[in-house]
Structures are given as C-alpha cells and as structure tokens.
Amino acid sequence: MAASKEELIEKLYECVVEMEDEDVVDVCNEYLDAGYNAYDGIMDGLVAGMNKASELYDEEEYFVTDVLLCSDALYAGLEILRPHLDADESMGEAKKVVIGVVEGDTHDIGKNLVKIMLETAGFEMYDLGRDVPLDAFVEKAKEVDADIVAMSTLMTTTMSGMGTVIEKLQEAGIRDRVKVMVGGSPISRKFADEIGAEGYSANAVEAVAVAKELVGLE
Amino acid sequence: MHPLDQMTPNERMGAMFAGEPFDRLPMMPFVISYAPRVLNQTQRWYRASAENRAECQIAAYEKWGHDTMVIEYSLHGVPHALGSTWTDPENALPAIDEHLLKDVDDVDKIDWDIDAVRKENDPWMKMNIEATERCLDKYGKEVGVSITLPGAFSAASGLLPVDKLLRAKRKKPEQVHKLLKICNEAVKLVCEEFIKVGATPFLCDPVASGTIINESEFREFSLPYTQEVFKFCHDIGGGCGYHICGDTTKLTQAMSESGCDMLSVDDAVDLSYVKGVCGDKLPLIGNVSPNATMMLGNREDIYRNIKENLKQAYDSPCGYIIATGCDIPLPAPIENVDAFMDGVRELAKYPLDPAKWE
C-alpha cells in the first residue's frame, strides 16, 4: 500500500534531522509521484526537520558538522520539491537579507550556518561569500532593496570594517531602509551598539529570532 | 631583565615547574602577531625577514619583560608548505587562498612530501628558524622562545576547506584519518626543527574547538594525533604547550590527557573549572579576554579581569601563568598591553595577597 502523505512528510522530516542527503531524494520523488502537495512537503517535512536540527544545535546535542549535514539533506530535498510549487505558493513576500563575511576574513562556517537558518525561516538570502569588499554590501543592498544587511567575522582585525559598511549605507542614503545585524566570535552586543548595528546574535539559531524582530515578523 | 622584576623569566619558569618560590606569577600575554605594533610596523613587514621578526619580539620583550618570546610559525605554515597558497595582506594575518585539496579523496591523488616543511625546503620555515635563533642569541639566557604551530586538525583545514573536512569526518572518516596522519607527520617535523634550536612548540588547534566539534569527535580526530606529537617532543628532549581557542569547557578533561606541559584556554572558559579538572596535573595558562578587555576595554577593565583570573586560578596546584585568552588583537591599544603587564606586576607579586583582588 502506498504511504500516506503524513507518513512521507514524517520521512522527509527524519531525513533532514538524520542527515540523509541521498534517501531524502527518493522520499521526495515518492512523495511527488503520489501526487502530494510540494509546499506541504517543504514546510512540514524539510523545513520542520531543519528547525528541529537547529533546536538540537541550540541544546548542544548537535554540532556544526551535524547542522551542515542536515542542511545538505534540506537542500537536496528542496531541489526536488521546489520546481513543483504552484506559482502562488512561493514562500510569500519574503524579506531580503544580504549576507557576507567582511573583507580580510575568509572564515565562513558561521556565516553559512546563519544563511541556512535564515533561509529555512523563509528569508530570501543574497550570499556575497567571504572576504567581501565593504562596498559590495552596500551595492547589493541597493540592488535588491534589502531589508537586512548581515555581516560576520572571526577576525578582530576586520571588525572595524562592519562600522565602515554602516557609514557607507548612510552615505548611500539607504541607512533608514535597511537594518544591520552582526555576529562572529569576537563580536559582542557592546561592539554592535558602538558601531550602530541594530542586531547582534551570539549564534546561528539566535540569528533567526533577531532577524525576525528586526523586520517586524515577531 | 625587567627593572621591576627580581628574577629572569627562565629562573621564574624553572621555579614554577620545580614548585619553588618566585617573585611574581609568570605572565604570557600572547604578544604574537601583535609584536610589530611595538615598532609601529606592519604585518607584511613582520613577515618579510628573520631580522624583522626577531627585532619585533626582542623590542616587545625589552619593553614588557613578559615570560616568553614567540615566533609565529603560523597555523597555516604546514598547509602552505604542503601546497596550499596563502594571501599576503598588508596589515592582517595571512589566510589560506587556494586549498590544495578540493575533495577529501584528493588525499590519494597527491604524492605527499612531508619533508617540504623542513627548513632546507621551505623558506618560511628557514626564516622562522633564523628568527628564533636571533631571539635566543640575544636573550636566550633569560627568556625562552615559544613557537605557534597548528595541530593536525587545524593543519588539515588549511589543505581541505573546513566545511568539507567536517562533512568528510562523518562520511569518509578513513580518508580524513589519512589526511590527519600526513598533517601530523609534518607537524612533528616542524616541532623537531624548532626543538633542535632550543625553542618550545606551542600547539594551537582552533578548528578542534568545542564550538565546532564534540568531545567524541575530538577524541577520535584530534586527541590521538596531539598525544603523538607531544610524546614525540618529549622523546627528543623538548617541551610543549597546548592551546585551543573558543569554548573548550567540555574538552577540558580530554585536552588534559594530551601530554602537554602547559594548558592554555581562551576566555570563554572558566579557569576555576579547568583548575578543578586538571590543575593538579599541569600548569594552566589564561585568560584575560582578548576582545572585550584587551581591545575594547581600558586600564580599569584590565585590572578587573586580571583580578577575576587570579581569584579563579592563583592556587592551581601545578602552577598558574596569567595570560590573555588568545592572541592580542591587532587593534588593541598599546597602553592596554602596558596596563596588563603593570597589573600583573602589581597584583600577582609574591607573596600573593588575595585581599588586593577584592
């Protein structure tokens, strides 16, 4: 007997939580073949699984490696299900985030985790990568009409670049339209306040709540 | 010797290891990449020659009289010698530019030559050996030279991008172990080169931090390699220090099993906890906050942080070396480093007086 929609959604959820980036593809195909709705599979299966993964990360049950592997499963599943979304079933009017690691720093694991978490939470992400020239944050924010600019760094030498980006947003005349959030191990709430960033989060899970609050989603 | 001290660093460290009295607690703020600030020089200048490297460390020691000079072999030294490329920024630390391996299976495709790290084959190693010799020629009678170098796990992350390394450790652990073995053999050769000239390796393994991997992974992918390195150092007559950045609280017991002679922890870790776990086995080093205190704080904050650390660890059974939690950030004001040294001389003078720390 064919599996019910609920059973398959549960399987999708488990594939993400259990980091099964190959099995998830089979389950997605089975789910589509049975004619079930792609949007529900994404939201109640894959995304719910990723949210569980971030909960486990928050509880120190999962570590960076686990979250990376869960996200591999998430993305593998999304690739199958996304093309089957109905036109009106996009994730709604998503808030846009420009994210990157500031110039001079090539460590991007933290940034990648934040990107995954925000993407899972429904934000539209524009990832500039690592070692990003400061002007690029401003240009991209203008180009896509971003709601948030998110910057990260691991290096103390590059922290001051974050303040420079905020000044540049001001000069470009878009400071009042965009919120700034910062993170990375040397960054503190105090530093965020000093440079005038509205948001600071100590880790990738907290970043979701901070971002939502900044754009008035919660 | 610093005019405010009664013993040289070598005498003081010797006394600490022998359990004998000394004039003040030893201090090892990480004056590593920070050293060129003393001469108003850039990082690129500091990387340019053995003379420049030694000159900065000597100037810093003459100014502050802290208990070690440090030559920065760099955490990327091993991957660079083995074939990754690095950047050359004017005033920041080099970063890995191109990783040698794109995929963990590439480990089988490369004809590895571990001897590439030796001083006759690697100009970077040669320069750092010469810098070490210059420091020791000048002040070796009174102060030692420590060498920062990577542990196998951090070295591997300079050969294979770290996210790939982390994934592979789950999916292809045997391939990761192959890579770690290669890195570890290279790390041992690096230790050997520096021990031969009389310096002390200080192994740093930031990628094996508790914020990135959990204890069981640490015990599988990091600890056995580190134990092998430290045993190797001891077998050839050298000492060794050990440092991991970030929050290593849950790794404390495992780190204390590494066989290191001194254990350094970052400011995310409570020194009194570390003292409880392994203070009876080895001297502890730590952990004034590099960012909040040294970079963003003032003299008052520095004194407060030193007092907190003293209260936590002054009575650690095998000794306590007051230090910063990690390398002093380059933008930290030089007056803050002055304040650190002043604070230790004032607050950690023997006989210790805990009343001064309230």
Give one DSSP letter per residue of A7-60, joined into a string: HHHHHHHHHHHTT-TTHHHHHHHHHHHTT--HHHIIIIIIIHHHHHHHHHHHTT
Joined tokens for residue A73: 């499963």
Q: Map out the domains of chain B as residue ranges.
A: 9-357
Which of A19, A105, A185 to mutate to test binding with chain B, by most B CBs within 10 Å of its CB? A185
Which chain B residue has its CA at the smallest distance from A203's CA?
A: B211
Please name the CATH architecture into which domain B9-357 falls: Alpha-Beta Barrel (3.20)
Q: Where in chain A is the domain with CATH 1.10.1240.10?
A: 5-85
What's the CA gap between A153 and A130, in Å, rounded?
9
In terms of residues, how long is chain B? 358
Residues of A in contact with B170 (CB under 8 A): 19, 65, 69
Between A and B, how many CB-CB pairs are < 8 A?
Answer: 66
How many other C-beta atoms are found inside a 10 Å radius of the C-beta of residue B295?
A: 19
SS3 A90: coil
Measured in angstroms, the CA of B212 and the nearest CA of chain A are apart by 5
Residues of A in contact with B330 (CB under 8 A): 156-157
Report the pLDDT value the prediction gives residue A104, as an integer from 0 to 100: 85
Residues of B in contact with A68 (CB under 8 A): 163, 166-167
Measured in angstroms, the CA of B111 and the nearest CA of chain A are apart by 27
What CATH class does A96-214 carry? alpha beta
Side-chain half-sphere of B299: how many Cα atoms within 13 Å? 8
Would you call A156 and B217 a contact, using CB atoms and an 8 Å cutoff?
no
Mean pLDDT per 10-residue segment, chain A (218 residues) = 90 97 96 95 95 92 92 96 79 86 89 92 94 96 97 89 96 96 91 95 91 90
Report the pLDDT value the prediction gives residue A90, as an integer from 0 to 100: 58
Which chain B residue has its CA at the smallest distance from A110's CA?
A: B212
pLDDT in tens, chain B (358 residues): 999 999 999 999 999 999 999 999 999 999 999 999 999 999 999 999 999 999 999 999 999 999 999 999 999 999 999 999 999 999 988 999 999 999 999 999 999 999 999 999 999 999 999 999 999 999 999 999 999 999 999 999 999 999 999 999 999 999 999 999 999 999 999 999 999 999 999 999 999 998 889 999 999 999 999 999 999 999 999 999 999 999 999 999 999 999 999 999 999 999 999 999 999 999 999 999 999 999 999 999 999 999 999 999 999 999 999 999 999 999 999 999 999 999 999 999 999 999 999 9
ipTM of this complex prediction, to 2 decimal places: 0.85
Q: What is the pLDDT of residues A160-208, one digit of tens each?
A: 899 999 999 999 999 999 999 999 988 999 899 999 999 999 888 899 9
Q: Where in chain A is the domain with CATH 3.40.50.280?
A: 96-214
Please name the CATH architecture into which domain A5-85 falls: Orthogonal Bundle (1.10)
